[in-house]
Amino acid sequence: MTNKQTNSDQLITTILAGIEDVKGKDINILDLREIDNTVCDYFIVCEGTSNTQVNAIANSIQKKVSKELKDKPWHIEGLENSEWVLMDYVNVVVHVFQKHIREYYDIESLWGDAKSTVIETNY
């Protein structure tokens, strides 16, 4: 396993913990490494039930990654209205949606060739 992969695995695990801490729903990891010309290695897609929860998920991810890995996102978009927050950690990009926005853009279908892993939650 390469150091880059180890770092991505640690980052993904930490991001998932951040999502689960505030009960983010319908978590899906898209592995984009086998697809040509992608901007990153992984997408993590999840949803919150309101602007408040979407914002809480993004904040939870940021705090957990900062505390545990001493890393911060290269770029964040969407915190103004918290319907779709994109957090760019370079190799891993997180998409936190409200349900209706996720259904509208349907990025999982746009990246249908990616290997998809659904994360089961117990809440």
Domains in the chain (CATH in brackets) are 3-119 (3.30.460.10)
Q: Do the beta carbons of residue 11 and residue 4 sit within 8 Å?
A: no
Residues of the chain below pLDDT 70 = 1-6
**Cα four-point dihedral sign 62, 102, 25, 113:** negative
What does the DSSP 8-state code read for residue 73? -
Q: What is the pLDDT of residue 90?
A: 94
108: closest CA among 40, 26, 13, 53? 26
Q: What is the pLDDT of residue 1?
A: 43
pTM over 0.85: yes
3-state secondary structure of 75: strand
